[in-house]
Amino acid sequence: MATGAAAQRFRPVVVSGPSGAGKSTLLKRLFAEYPDTFDLSVSHTTRAPRPGEENGREYYFTTKEDFLDLVSKNAFIEHAQFGGNYYGTTVQAVKDVAQKGKICVLDIEMEGVKQVKRTDLDARFLFLAPPSIEELEKRLRGRATETEESLTVWVSYHIPSLPQLARLSAGNLTLLQKRLAQAKNELEYAAQSGSHDRTVVNDDLEKAYKELRDWIVDGGNFGARQ
């Protein structure tokens, strides 16, 4: 991959999708297959590090005060709040990848996608979808990070089309159920024309990876600017 100014020809790739859709798994495979071509932008977050995570590798772990200071300085391309924590990608994080002569990949949520679309980043957008809400729930229940901690949110307004959630009393949705509600919103947004350049349904890992890889690699053009 070219370095310096030549790297600017290659458009960043934004990969989004509900938590549990398989973004991390597929992107790890992409980076392993193309170690000199792609790199993930490192986001900032105010959440605490999980076991095994390192500052500057998975995230830049920061305080709420420092995060909001960066917001006030317009340092972020995109930022959002989820589960009481802030997450965001800085302009510098994307520049850091380009300066290494690699194509920047951003793994972000729906609100981040909307914000990136309002910038001059000229990114390519891929949405990774689960086969169904039911399958997504099964995957999330199998993840150790999905604890059953309570969150106060409102059911009937946000998730009326999910009867298994609508039967719950408002005010005691778990983190898992919150993620399912968010997934519904993301799927509805992804169904809108022009929201993404490509949608890949992860109903089979090998098939989904091939579709994701082939679209991103683009026959060796990597979505280069003309």
Report pLDDT for 26.
96
**Judging by beta carbons within 10 Å of its beta carbon (0-12, 13-18, 19+), is residue 140 exposed, middle or buried?**
buried
Q: What is the pTM of this model?
A: 0.77
Name the CATH superfamily, with its identifier, for domain 4-213: P-loop containing nucleotide triphosphate hydrolases (3.40.50.300)
Domain-by-domain residue ranges, the chain? 4-213
- Confidence class of residue 122 from pLDDT cuts 50, 70 and 90? very high
Compare 154 and 59 and report the one with higher pLDDT. 59
Per-residue pLDDT for 157 more than 70? no
- For the ranges 19-23, 101-105, 193-197, which has the lowest average pLDDT? 19-23
Report pLDDT for 7.
53
Counting residues of the chain whose pLDDT is more than 70, the rounded percentage is: 82
Compare 186 and 20 and report the one with higher pLDDT. 186
For residue 11, what are its two tokens? 């458009």
Report pLDDT for 176.
76
- DSSP notation for 98-140: HHTT-EEEEE--HHHHHHHHTSS---EEEEEE-S-HHHHHHHH
